[in-house]
Structure 1
Amino acid sequence: MSRFSNLGHRLYQGEVSFDFVGRRKLWYSISAIIVLVAGIGLAMGLKLGIEFEGGSVYTVTKPGLTVSQAQSAADSILHDTKALVQSTDKGSVKIQISAEEQIPAETFISELSKDLAVPANEINAQVIGPSWGEEISKKALLGLVIFMVLVTVYLAIAFEWRMAIAALVALIHDLLITIGVYALVGFEVTPGTVIGFLTILGYSLYDTVVVFDTVKENAKGITRQNKVTFSEAANAGLNQTLVRSINTTVVALLPVAALLFIGGGILGAGTLNDISLALFIGLAAGAYSSICVATPLYAQLKEATPEMRALAKKVAARRAADAKAAEERAAAGLPEEDPQADADDDESAGMVGQRNQPVSKSRTRGRPSGKH
């Protein structure tokens, strides 16, 4: 752990740096492949829950009743395997039947009572119409659109429109990946899933804004110097927040992983899967997009501006002159230039990024003031 903390300190001070922004084509390619696979899963169709398609839910309360027993009984009644059976956190078993199954609730309860040896009054039935699910779907979509618009407007005002575009692309990237994985896995889309989607969008936006804020601080006065380009300053800010982003993501993923793999997988609490899978995939995708998608895309958009293109030319000219001067000094057998001189140049031109401040020395009584 101390080594990881030391790495975070070195990243923050600029002693170690990973070139995320310079390798944006690699990250774009990886994201394109992931989104393509997710798109294939989405084209196969989402498995919507009865809250969206309508249907019936039967809750059976019986000590010792297992999911497999309830699944076998439901399959024998329906003569297929379209029933979804899950255990609940209250020790009951929930059987969901889509609206396509044309079977009266009284008939299903009677047959289920015989097969499972459960009194009919121990079986609770709830019928949900498809119109309710359609209304919920419209409201969820409307909420998502409003969320995206407000996020874009806020970032455009607080930062600039290029940051807003980069953040919006990252949010859509996370949403497509999460929905695509949901379709590939075959989990049901429930209201809990919608809550998970909105949660991960907020988390992804939070992580992206933190990185953008650091990039903004690093880029202050960047056009007044000729040593680093905007992409390099953005990459420095990304490295300064890298360990923080990793730590935050890991801490957030641990409880979600416990819900998904232990609660839903091992313990069989299937009702936890709908929200936990959305959170798990979305949190991981959000951390990736804030580092490898949002910031590189913002740097690319910013580098296209005239002032940043001019800065890139100044930096290239400065480095070419420095390289030529170094070759001439080496050929003449002269020592290399003092790096402190470069630091003084940076200070006079406007420093970009983090810099250690020298300790100030106050005058003492015995030191002459220089005044006569």
Structure 2
Amino acid sequence: MSRFGSIGARLYRGEVGYDFVAKRKIWYGLSILITITAIVGLAVQGLNMGIEFKGGAVFNTPKTSVSVAQAETYAEEASGHDAIVQKLGNDTLRIQVSELDTAQADKVSAQLAEDLKVDPDLITGELVGPSWGEQIANKAWTGLGVFMLLVVLYLAVAFEWRMAVAALIALIHDLTITVGVYALVGFEVTPGTVIGLLTILGYSLYDTVVVFDGLKEGAKDITKQTRYTYSEVANRSLNGTLVRSINTTVVALLPVAGLLFIGGGFLGAGMLNDISLSLFVGLAAGAYSSIFIATPLVADLKEREPQMKALKKRVLAKRAQAAAKGESPDLADDSGEPQDEEHSDTAPAGAVVGQRGRGRGGRPSGRRR
């Protein structure tokens, strides 16, 4: 078994773990820094909206040896407006010019054919009105709002309102980062981008719901024991699903990376860039937020409850009592009686342990009788 596979198996069995929840202030600070950077980029750079949203014309040329920079110059001189040129995989060009009407588009097409030295009949044009883009944007915002509302209602019913709030914050976090990256790199925002943004919401929720489901199960009757606080149970649930979250994210990112770097970069397929960049950034941000944001936020909210505050006091008091007696608090049951280390079925949250328990997910100790 590989080293990573061995670590993954130990994480799943609870033999090793990392205390994500205890270090939540670090993750919060990092997320705030990334989010501020995204917002500043959005405010300074702004989004490069495609003609689908602001109106204009798109011209597709046949194969030409003219460079992208020279084609931009020709298009701007012919139209009097800013132009965006993309070179496609077969050395054809896609030229976008904003704010053109039908008559102007015909003149620009003829001038481009002359400047690029190509047959005018081989240049195809498409005119897009700004009202169509406005309708698309309004529908996207409506879809996003309905989606968020349904997510909050479902999580509040299936789990609890604290988990719904944490998941909503994680979703907003992911969307803000993805939109900020678009602003910083200057990629064009098209309907494909909107599709990608709506798609990542489901991926972002997937890992979060998996962790929440494990946390809900692990926190059942939590106040009837004095071994773990809620934050420690949350951390154990997070570690238990960590390998699965990493595996599913990597498997999802690999084909998206192929679309982004091979399809968009080498083949020059512009539409692939629009969709794949939002998917790539959103998937990575979603995996991060499910581990470092959503679960720690739930723990923070739950620890404010009087019952959980009382539980934490009992757990800390029991540990202090055990430490005074020179005993390990994790080897005592809830009645205060010490247990045999070999039969302990749990490990302290975030700690590396060496015992081989007989509890859930553990293996027999192999002790000979």
TM-score normalised by the chain length of structure 1: 0.86
Partner of 2:53: 52
Alignment of 1:46-195 (within 5 A): 46-62=47-63, 67-68=68-69, 70-78=71-79, 82-88=82-88, 92-99=92-99, 104-195=104-195
- On the 8 A contact 2:101/2:127 being kept in 1, the answer is no
**How far apart, in 2, do the equivalents of 1:209 and 1:131 lie?**
38
Task: Supply the AA of the counterpart residue of 1:298.
Answer: V
Q: CA deviation at 1:90?
A: 7.4
Partner of 2:286: 286
Query: Residue 101 and residue 339 in structure 1: after superposition, are their counterparts in 2 closer, same or farther (change >3 A)?
Result: farther
Q: CA deviation at 1:85?
A: 1.2
Task: Supply the AA of the counterpart residue of 2:71.
Answer: A
The answer to whether 1:246 aligns with 2:246 is yes
Partner of 1:324: 324
Aligned residue for 1:57, secondary structure, equals strand
Equivalent residues, number: 345
- On the 8 A contact 1:8/1:240 being kept in 2, the answer is no
Task: Supply the AA of the counterpart residue of 1:315.
Answer: V
Aligned residue for 1:8, secondary structure, equals helix
Query: Residue 260 and residue 184 in structure 1: after superposition, are their counterparts in 2 closer, same or farther (change >3 A)?
Result: same
- Deviating beyond 6 angstroms after TM superposition, the runs of 4 or more aligned structure 1 residues are 100-103
- On the 8 A contact 2:79/2:97 being kept in 1, the answer is no
**How far apart, in 1, do the equivalents of 2:39 and 2:64 lie?**
43
Q: CA deviation at 1:107?
A: 1.0
Aligned residue for 1:29, secondary structure, equals helix
**How far apart, in 2, do the equivalents of 1:101 and 1:264 lie?**
30
**How far apart, in 1, do the equivalents of 2:215 and 2:25 lie?**
20
Task: Supply the AA of the counterpart residue of 2:106.
Answer: E
Query: Residue 248 and residue 304 in structure 1: after superposition, are their counterparts in 2 closer, same or farther (change >3 A)?
Result: same
Query: Residue 153 and residue 295 in structure 1: after superposition, are their counterparts in 2 closer, same or farther (change >3 A)?
Result: same
Query: Residue 63 and residue 113 in structure 1: after superposition, are their counterparts in 2 closer, same or farther (change >3 A)?
Result: closer
Query: Residue 229 and residue 181 in structure 1: after superposition, are their counterparts in 2 closer, same or farther (change >3 A)?
Result: same
- On the 8 A contact 1:88/1:271 being kept in 2, the answer is no
**How far apart, in 2, do the equivalents of 1:272 and 1:65 lie?**
23
Partner of 2:330: none
**How far apart, in 1, do the equivalents of 2:186 and 2:360 lie?**
47
Alignment of 1:264-303 (within 5 A): 264-303=264-303
Task: Supply the AA of the counterpart residue of 1:27.
Answer: W
Partner of 2:334: none
Larger mean Cα displacement after TM superposition, 303-312 or 173-182: 303-312
- On the 8 A contact 2:35/2:176 being kept in 1, the answer is yes
Task: Supply the AA of the counterpart residue of 1:325.
Answer: K
Larger mean Cα displacement after TM superposition, 57-66 or 183-192: 57-66
Q: CA deviation at 1:93?
A: 2.2
Task: Supply the AA of the counterpart residue of 1:152.
Answer: V
**How far apart, in 1, do the equivalents of 2:191 and 2:52 lie?**
7
Q: CA deviation at 1:341?
A: 9.0
Q: CA deviation at 1:280?
A: 0.9
The answer to whether 1:39 aligns with 2:39 is yes
Q: CA deviation at 1:39?
A: 0.5
Runs of 5+ in structure 1 lacking a partner?
328-336, 347-352, 360-372
**How far apart, in 2, do the equivalents of 1:294 and 1:192 lie?**
28
**How far apart, in 2, do the equivalents of 1:90 and 1:157 lie?**
53
- On the 8 A contact 1:65/1:93 being kept in 2, the answer is no
**How far apart, in 2, do the equivalents of 1:188 and 1:101 lie?**
21
Aligned residue for 1:96, secondary structure, equals strand
**How far apart, in 1, do the equivalents of 2:346 and 2:265 lie?**
60
Q: CA deviation at 1:268?
A: 2.4
- On the 8 A contact 2:89/2:268 being kept in 1, the answer is no
Aligned residue for 1:104, secondary structure, equals helix
**How far apart, in 1, do the equivalents of 2:181 and 2:346 lie?**
51
Quote the sequence identity (%). 59
Tell me which structure has the larger Cα radius of gyration: 1
**How far apart, in 1, do the equivalents of 2:114 and 2:48 lie?**
30
**How far apart, in 2, do the equivalents of 1:18 and 1:339 lie?**
25
Alignment of 1:348-367 (within 5 A): 354=360, 356=362
TM-score normalised by the chain length of structure 2: 0.86
Query: Residue 294 and residue 344 in structure 1: after superposition, are their counterparts in 2 closer, same or farther (change >3 A)?
Result: closer
CA RMSD, 1 decimal:
2.7
**How far apart, in 2, do the equivalents of 1:172 and 1:133 lie?**
24
Runs of 5+ in structure 2 lacking a partner?
328-337, 348-358
Aligned residue for 2:268, secondary structure, equals coil
**How far apart, in 1, do the equivalents of 2:360 and 2:295 lie?**
18
Q: CA deviation at 1:126?
A: 1.3
Q: CA deviation at 1:306?
A: 1.4
Q: CA deviation at 1:121?
A: 1.6
